Amino acid sequence: MADASSFYITTPIFYVNDVPHIGHAYTEVAADVLARWNRQAGRDTWMLTGTDEHGQKILRTATANGVSPQEWADKLVADAWKPLLDTVDVANDDFIRTTDERHERNVQRFLQHLFDEGWIYTGEYEGYYCVGCEEYKQQSELVDGTGEYEGQLVCAIHSKPVELLHEKNYFFRMSAFADRLLALYEERPDFVQPESARNEVVSFVRRGLDDLSISRSTFDWGVKVPWDETHVVYVWFDALLNYITAVGYGEDDDRFARRWPAQHLVGKDILRFHAVIWPAMLMAAGLDVPTGVFGHGWLLVGGEKMSKSKLTGIAPSQITDTFGSDAFRYYFLSAISFGQDGSFSWEDLAARYQAELANGFGNLASRVIAMIGRYCGGAVPTGTEAARTEADEAIRRIEQEATDAAWQAIDRLQIHEAIAATWRLVDALNGYITEQEPWVLAKDEAVRARLEAVLETAYHGVGTLAVLLSPVLPKATAKLWTALGAPGTVQEQRIDRAHEWSVGTQTSALEPLFPRVEATE
Ligand code: MSP
């Protein structure tokens, strides 16, 4: 069972230079499933997502499109990033934009505090800057360009030329925190997950840390440095602070104390910002470091990280228009071990939709509801103890085991394991119905009591599934809940005690939860 603590989960805030693809939607649904699950386990839960709107990358995109960066950001947020949350059915508690007043003034407050404490100094920097990454690059992170960039050095991630910058900047004394960071990784082995990500971060910090340039003066699209308005705050320094400005840092101490620290979910490409720079910033400010940083893998298309710039981007609606948001959520969270890369293919998605959602779960729910309708006039059978057998006890045990195993997996952020644990119950119930053959029992009035026991067991099992799957399949399980005639909403049920749900008395008809999808090609 869950404890009564609080749970604050975040996604990265997304650059508004372009529209979302399924890689971004993947992070959103993972955070949403963890939030819904924790909320249903009785934890004081908060899920934050939002957009990263400052910096040179956004400025250039806006300029290229002939509008101001603020206009560009407003349009992308309204037309693309907020609608994404509906497309994949995310129930976030807040949406922060780095252009929000509440964010900007507290970024300044944080910075001023670090400046007053002596953690910031003026220096000069010369280095190669990648605008795609919004980061200075080491020589080892660059490669020789090919094609139109032949003869130039390009960023290994974006394959675009880097720019040699020479600026007078403000610097954060990050180098002073290397030992404290190493001690943190040592004392809290789960601080960075998965283990491969942790190892990479530890060896990076062991090589020693440089101080970090945290301002830019050659353009002005950003938060102004409070003591020197000719500089704007470096976009990553600004962006990371969203996690605390959104929950009251600087102006609402009670709220801040209630929510912070957070569990961060990020793609592995931005792990270092979250596992190195961010905790060092918090340490300097005397604040708690995050609960943890989990680096998930990439969605691969044709073996490569899917990206718009490489023209492999797939819009989430391309999938949800055909398969629905539940299938989107289920597919990416069950087919990919959370933390590993995963290849996306339409064939795999269509095959799993049919085998697991339509035939495995959907059909099970439809059959059970239909049989209670046909054989009992929709009245939920009760009081069948005397006619129960070991097979019924086994199902009850699996309901409890699945409930416990799924919650334990979620508590370790292992979403795919939680779904697999739940699917044991789907398979067990399908096997049970095949073995018990209620349609045969229904032909013989002498075994009526046994028929009712079988239907009661199946009904109970399907209700437990509705609760356990509600974070992943919110739409389908809400429909199923109504058909089960159970009280309240499925989202109100305690998921860490899913097997103890309170049953209804009368079922009603259920449309297929996962209708057949016609091949479009
Ligand atoms: N704005 C920064 C984050 C600041 S957080 C303080 C940023 N934005 S982003 O829009 O470029 O990326 C956001 C997230 O999307 C990252 O976690 C990144 O890993 C993720 N993904 C981008 N492409 C992806 C895939 N192909 N697969 C999975 N996730 C992907 O970085």
The structure's pTM equals 0.96
Question: Distance between CA 485 and CA 488 in Å, rounded?
Answer: 9
Nearest to 51 by CA among 8, 87, 108, 103: 103
Mean pLDDT (the chain) is 95
What is the pLDDT tens value at each position of the chain, 521 positions in all?
Answer: 566 689 999 999 999 999 999 999 999 999 999 999 999 999 999 999 999 999 999 999 999 999 999 999 999 999 999 999 999 999 999 999 999 999 999 999 999 999 999 999 999 988 899 988 988 988 888 899 888 889 888 998 888 898 888 889 999 999 999 999 999 999 999 999 999 999 999 999 999 999 999 999 999 999 999 999 999 999 999 999 999 999 999 999 999 999 999 999 999 999 999 999 999 999 999 999 999 999 999 999 888 887 766 667 899 999 999 999 999 999 999 999 999 999 999 999 999 999 999 999 999 999 999 999 999 999 999 989 999 999 999 999 999 999 999 999 999 999 999 999 999 999 999 999 999 999 999 999 999 999 999 999 999 999 999 999 999 999 999 999 999 999 999 999 999 999 999 999 999 999 999 999 976 54
For ligand 1, whether the C-beta of 158 sits within 6 Å is: no
For ligand 1, whether the C-beta of 271 sits within 6 Å is: no
How far lies 378's CA from each of 369, 439, 452, 507, in Å? 8, 15, 12, 5
Find the 24 Cα to ligand 1 centroid distance in Å: 6
The number of the ligand 1 atom at minimal distance from the alpha carbon of 242 is 6
DSSP calls for 432-476: HHHHH-HHHHTT-GGGHHHHHHHHHHHHHHHHHHHHHHTTT-HHH
Taking CA atoms only, the protein residue closest to ligand 1 atom 9 is 14
pLDDT in tens, 251-277: 999 999 999 999 999 999 999 999 999
Taking CA atoms only, the protein residue closest to ligand 1 atom 26 is 306
pLDDT at 519: 64
pLDDT in tens, 59-91: 999 999 999 999 999 999 999 999 999 999 999
Give percent of the chain with pLDDT exceeding 70. Answer: 98
Find the 489 Cα to ligand 1 centroid distance in Å: 34
Strand-pairing partners, residue 34, are: none
Query: What secondary structure letter does DSSP report for 270?
Result: G
Residue 264 known to bind ligand: no
Find the 58 Cα to ligand 1 centroid distance in Å: 15
The number of the ligand 1 atom at minimal distance from the alpha carbon of 27 is 29
Taking CA atoms only, the protein residue closest to ligand 1 atom 29 is 23
Nearest to 89 by CA among 251, 267, 329: 329
Q: Which residues are catalytic?
A: 21, 24, 130, 133, 155, 158, 305, 308
pLDDT at 521: 46
Domain spans of the chain, in order of start: 346-500
Question: Distance between CA 103 and CA 109 in Å, rounded?
Answer: 10
Question: Distance between CA 1 and CA 408 in Å, rounded?
Answer: 9
Question: Distance between CA 328 and CA 316 in Å, rounded?
Answer: 8
Question: Distance between CA 490 and CA 365 in Å, rounded?
Answer: 15
pLDDT at 153: 87
To test the pocket of ligand 1, the residue of 28, 53, 134, 269 to mutate (highest count of ligand atoms within 8 Å of its CB) is 269
The number of the ligand 1 atom at minimal distance from the alpha carbon of 297 is 28
For ligand 1, whether the C-beta of 135 sits within 6 Å is: no
Angle among Cα 221, 227, 229 to the nearest 5 degrees reads 30
Residues 346-500, CATH architecture: Orthogonal Bundle (1.10)
The number of the ligand 1 atom at minimal distance from the alpha carbon of 306 is 26
Residue 376 known to bind ligand: no
For ligand 1, whether the C-beta of 366 sits within 6 Å is: no
